[in-house]
Structure 1
Amino acid sequence: MRRHLIRLSAAALLCLTGLAQAAQPSPAPAAKNWQQGLSRTDLVRQDLGAADREVIQARVDFEPGVTSPRHAHPGVEVAYVVSGTFEYQLEGRAPVTLKAGDSLFIPAGVAHIAKNVGTDKGSELATYIVEKGQPLLILKQ
């Protein structure tokens, strides 16, 4: 009888402990900054035969909630969303939301940001036609 009472008391204590832990809010996941949650894989870099132009194609992967820094490119970009949902904000324009299968043309020199607004990792295929010898990405304030 005593063993049964001890087991019953232990079970009740475990239940109460579990309820107490469940009642406490779990900490929110730490927000990732773009340096931790964004990666670029260059796929193609090819001279276009013009004296000052090349094409660069890259896959850019964003963890959920990650926003790129505000930046521009020394040429045009065509962004194609491979997976996920993104919000793009181009300077002087209203934000646009794109999902897998959507594309966006970004003119040369236009400052912009991209944010993964989905709950899963998102990826875009970025194709740049840019000036040779220039940095691909120029950070803007």
Structure 2
Amino acid sequence: MKMTRILAVSLLIAVNGLLLPTAQAQTPGVHRTDLVQRELSVPGREGVQVRVDFDPGAFAPKHSHPGEEIAYVLQGTLEYQLDDKPPVTLKAGDSLFIPAGSAHSARNVGSGKASELATYIVRKGVPLAVPARQSGSATAE
């Protein structure tokens, strides 16, 4: 009986980890294109690069990552909200460093489409994104 519970919980965690990136990709108006995912020379870390396209007015709700993110705006205007800090607005050519575990969101505040190139240095083998808790706190590294 105890082994059955352990297997059930393990399966639930594994399935949740597989579905989480898909759930984020299905945020209305936000489209992710995975570009690169490679193991780094730092043990237990990998580099991941993703293009994220935002339809006009699209919003990616607060979430965090198991490592650092560098967001580079390719086109349009995006507003980022990190933790409880004032929002930051970036235009094409601007970039932003997002610390590990920082709960953040992004919104297209321009008049057309917007795109970012997101580069992550994260722990290998864990979900890339974790939805922020109701209180707004993030899952720390």
TM range (shorter): 0.7 to 0.9
1:64 and 2:63 matched: no
- How far apart, CA to CA, are the structure 2 residues paired with 1:104 and 1:50? 23
1:111 counterpart (103, 113, 130): 103
Task: Tell me which of 78, 85, 103 is aligned to 2:70.
Answer: 78
Q: Gapped runs of 5+ residues in structure 2?
A: 1-25, 135-141
Q: CA deviation at 1:119?
A: 1.1
Would you say 1:51 and 2:43 are equivalent positions? yes
1:35 alignment partner, SS class: coil
Letter in 1 for 2:57: G
C-alpha displacement of 1:71:
0.2
RMSD of aligned Cα (Å): 1.0
TM-score by length of 1: 0.74
Which structure has the larger Rg?
1
Among 97, 117, 130, the residue aligned to 2:122: 130
Letter in structure 2 aligned against 1:74:
P
Aligned partners of 1:36, 1:136: CA distance in 2, in Å? 19
Paired with 2:72 and 2:101, the residues of 1 have a C-alpha distance of 19
Q: d(CA) in 2 for partners of 1:59 and 1:46?
A: 16
Q: Counterpart of 2:51 in 1: which secondary structure?
A: strand
Matched, 1:95 2:107: no
In 2, Cα distance between equivalents of 1:128 and 1:106: 9
Question: What SS is found at the alignment partner of 2:28?
Answer: helix
Alignment partner, residue 131 of structure 2: 139
Partner AA of 2:90 in structure 1 = L
- Where in structure 2 are the equivalents of 1:18-57 lying within 5 Å? 35-57=27-49
Give the Cα separation in 1 of the matches to 2:27 and 2:123. Answer: 25
In the TM superposition, what is the alpha-carbon distance from 1:121 to its structure 2 partner?
0.8
Question: What fraction of aligned residue pairs are identical, expressed as a percent?
Answer: 61
In structure 1, give the amino acid aligned to 2:96.
Answer: L
